[in-house]
Amino acid sequence: MTDNARVLVLNGPNLNTLGKRQPEIYGAETLADVEARCRRRAELLGLQLTFAQSNHEGELVEAIQQARESMAAIVINPAAYTHTSVAIRDALEFAELPTVEVHISNIHRREEFRHHSFVSGVADAVIAGAGTLGYELALEWVADRCGRVAREV
């Protein structure tokens, strides 16, 4: 693997309220708990993590644009923007990085409006319904993918 491959884990709107928000759907962990477990897993996998959250679509777009030059991969939970944002999809297409879309809940078992994702069409992998473990599974995928690419070059 490329040593210390840099990974951006990006979280969309309302994910800052994890732990308080609909715990029956999203669980009891806070976003800080999720960050901590991601950091532990990233260290085991030899990945260097940047963990961020924004409630603003433009900030998410800018973070993705910047990732193009500075990151090896993106793990993104676009939250509600999953279902509305062509801008985030376009930014991910521009970034041209290995991308994993993560949802804590199984969006396909929920309301109809959550079934469509603008992001899935530009993501390499999609993880939904695995709870916050989904973030760690995404990092496993990134490590495997980065390792494979490194072995191939």
User: Residue numbers of the site for ligand DQA (CB under 6 A)?
Assistant: 14, 77, 79-80, 82, 103-105, 107, 114
Sign of CA pseudo-dihedral 143, 149, 151, 153 = negative
At its nearest, how many Å lie between ligand DQA and the CB of residue 150? 30
In the bound state with ligand DQA, the residue whose beta carbon lies nearer, of 46 and 140, is 140
Sign of CA pseudo-dihedral 36, 123, 102, 64 = positive
At its nearest, how many Å lie between ligand DQA and the CB of residue 107? 5
In the bound state with ligand DQA, the residue whose beta carbon lies nearer, of 49 and 107, is 107
81 labelled catalytic: no
Q: Where are the alpha helices (DSSP H) in 27-73?
A: 31-45, 57-70
Beta carbons of 28 and 94 less than 8 angstroms apart: no
State the catalytic residue, choosing from 56, 81, 83, 103. 103
Active-site residue list: 26, 103
